[in-house]
Amino acid sequence: MPSNHGSGSGMGSDADVAALAALVADAEVAADAVRAAQIHEVRVLAAAGVLAEQQSAGASERVKAREMALRGIAAELAGVFAATDRTLQRRIDEARDLVDNYPLTMAAWEAGRIVRGHVRVIQDEGCAIPVGDRAEFERLAIEKCERDAPNRVRDALRMVAERVHPRSFTERHEAAAAGRCVSVKPGPDGMSDLIATLPTVIADGIVDRLTRQAREIINARPGVRAGDGDAAAAGSDTLAAGTEGLPAGSGGALFDSPDATPSADASSFIDDGRSIDQVRADVFSDLLLAGTPALDPTATGDGDGTLGAIRAHVQVAVSALTLMGNDEEPADLAGRSPIDAATARELAGNTTSWDRLLTHPVTRTALECDAYRPTAAMVRLLRARDRHCRFPGCRQPAIRCELDHTIAASDGGKTHVCNLADLCKRHHDVKHHTRWRVVQLAGGTLVWTSPTGRVYREDAPPPLVTFTIPDPPGAAGPPPDTPPPF
């Protein structure tokens, strides 16, 4: 019987419905193919973990041998997956955990009963449950996943995990609190997220104190009556950003330097139009960068300890033209991300420690470095040249790396800039304990060869001028001019 639905109907014509049905059928085929590929990838990565175990079997230091084998395998696979070796090692561990410890989940995934998103949620929420008690959690979790989308089941699965866990919440919280930490996640436009993993009551207390302090600052503005700060806070999204006397976009936070104290203008409340979020962030920065910790084991009954004297230490690379204000090109916070030109000039004005670099006129590779302390000049030059770990894909800042002889000193390698490069501890170990090999060419270019023969070229970044925020007066001086122990 012919359809009476015209092209203007909400259901569309028979031809439209047929076309949509064909698309749905194609989508099902594509979804099946994606699921099969994802499962294949997980099993390949899990097999990589098994291979690392096999390679380390029988070693005298099995844990270290497995770690070195795993690093080497992860570095090899990183080239195939276009990811860092750290990322691949994490994915290998996750895949091994999934295949070995979640058999019911893998079976449901392979049967098409759940999708990859469900698998992630099950693994995330089930990781706290001992393996021996996990089967009941998996069974209940899969039943819930079959009835709802991945983004809707997390809370339900969390409650399931709470019910089936053999230990009390109090016991688990005490153990989890031992993992508290602070980390930095670089973001765009010269900004980063500072992430503190803390007990919830501590985190809420910190936010509450910052909020109350921010409201006091807002209430102290000229013309603001007591209590109006709460109204200003409620309408924070309508307040204009900006702080008198500071670089645009700095939010009022300054890197502390022993010889530089923010001027009165920098802390003035006149024409302060910051929102409560901005004030909270600025107070937070000020407390951490300039405040004296209450918990200081070096303090005595007669005075403060040494923790309050510790200042931030960062390395910045910036062109001379930017420093002179002739352009607004961003500077580089070594190993992290760009920072705006105004902030770079502010930091440069406060620092007393400078390196002047002679660079190649074409490649801009650092060639020589002038310094006041020749015993540290080579280290400073290499930090300025490398800026970060020189293993393919690694961005660990050079100030937290180790200097490595490309040709080992024991094999006749010279302690010279042409035979040295910054490597983080992880990749320093990879170079010495796996079959990765490296050759250093002129200008600090490193050519890495993986165990299977893949070649990766690492050109040195092109810094122009660098400066480092120094340690406070009285800090330990530079190390003696002795050969490094590597």
Q: Which helix (H) or strand (E) holds 356?
A: strand 354-359
**209 & 355 share domain:** no
| pLDDT value, residue 286 | 83
Task: Tell which residue, 444, 442, 467, 458, has the closest CA to residue 334.
Answer: 467
Last residue of a domain, one of 180, 199, 233: 180
**81 & 214 share domain:** no
| pLDDT value, residue 477 | 46
- Cα 470 to its chain centre, rounded Å, is 24
What CA–CA distance (Å, rounded) separates 6 from 321? Answer: 68
In this structure, is residue 341 part of a structural domain?
Answer: yes
**242 & 173 share domain:** no
Angle at 397 between CA 322 and CA 333, to 5 degrees: 20
**133 & 42 share domain:** yes
| pLDDT value, residue 486 | 37
Cβ atoms < 10 Å from Cβ of 338 = 15
Bin 393: left if φ > 0, else alpha if -120 < ψ < 50, else beta.
left
| pLDDT value, residue 356 | 58
What CA–CA distance (Å, rounded) separates 394 from 123? Answer: 28
Copy the structure tokens of residue 85: 């070796």
| pLDDT value, residue 361 | 61
Q: How distant, in Å, are the alpha carbons of 74, 136, 156, 200, 446 from that of 437?
A: 15, 48, 49, 46, 10
Beta carbons of 78 and 448 less than 8 angstroms apart: no
Whether the full predicted model's pTM is greater than 0.85, yes or no, is no
In this structure, is residue 151 part of a structural domain?
Answer: yes
Backbone angles phi and psi of 369, in degrees to 5: -140, 130
In this structure, is residue 26 part of a structural domain?
Answer: yes
What CA–CA distance (Å, rounded) separates 119 from 140? Answer: 13
Q: Which helix (H) or strand (E) holds 28?
A: helix 14-56
In this structure, is residue 212 part of a structural domain?
Answer: yes
**348 & 284 share domain:** no
The torsion defined by the Cα of 155, 158, 164 and 166, in degrees rounded to 10, comes to -150
In this structure, is residue 155 part of a structural domain?
Answer: yes
What letter represents residue 191's amino acid?
M
In this structure, is residue 3 part of a structural domain?
Answer: no
| pLDDT value, residue 204 | 78
**338 & 448 share domain:** yes
What CA–CA distance (Å, rounded) separates 218 from 232? Answer: 8
In this structure, is residue 371 part of a structural domain?
Answer: yes
Cite the beta strand spans of 114-239 per DSSP E: 181-186, 192-197
Task: Tell which residue, 198, 187, 141, 192, has the closest CA to residue 165.
Answer: 141
| pLDDT value, residue 212 | 85
Task: Tell which residue, 374, 360, 377, 320, has the closest CA to residue 442.
Answer: 360
**79 & 165 share domain:** yes
Count of domains observed in the chain: 3
What CA–CA distance (Å, rounded) separates 424 from 391? Answer: 8
| Run means of pLDDT, 10 residues per run, the chain, 486 residues | 48 80 92 95 96 85 86 93 92 95 96 95 92 92 92 87 81 83 87 88 82 84 60 36 30 33 40 84 84 68 66 72 79 68 77 62 62 60 90 89 86 83 93 93 93 90 60 48 42
Domain assignment of residue 232, given as a range: 184-291
Beta carbons of 68 and 423 less than 8 angstroms apart: no
Task: Tell which residue, 383, 397, 381, has the closest CA to residue 333.
Answer: 397
Q: How distant, in Å, are the alpha carbons of 141, 384, 455 from that of 460?
A: 50, 10, 16
**319 & 459 share domain:** yes
**139 & 203 share domain:** no
Task: Tell which residue, 201, 204, 203, 236, has the closest CA to residue 217.
Answer: 236
**226 & 101 share domain:** no
| pLDDT value, residue 411 | 81
Q: What is the DSSP string of 337-363?
A: -EE-HHHHHHHHHH---EEEEEE-TTT
| 3-state secondary structure at position 198 | coil
In this structure, is residue 158 part of a structural domain?
Answer: yes
What 8-state DSSP symbol labels residue 175?
A: H
Q: How distant, in Å, are the alpha carbons of 45, 144, 390, 462, 466 from that of 456?
A: 22, 46, 11, 19, 27
Max Cα-Cα span within the chain: 98
**335 & 442 share domain:** yes
- State the helix-helix crossing angle for 116-126 and 134-145, rounded to 10 degrees: 150
Last residue of a domain, one of 155, 180, 205: 180
Last residue of a domain, one of 291, 324, 340: 291
What CA–CA distance (Å, rounded) separates 354 from 467? Answer: 5
For the chain, give me the number of helices (H) and strands (E)? Answer: 15, 13
**104 & 30 share domain:** yes
Copy the structure tokens of residue 409: 């000193």
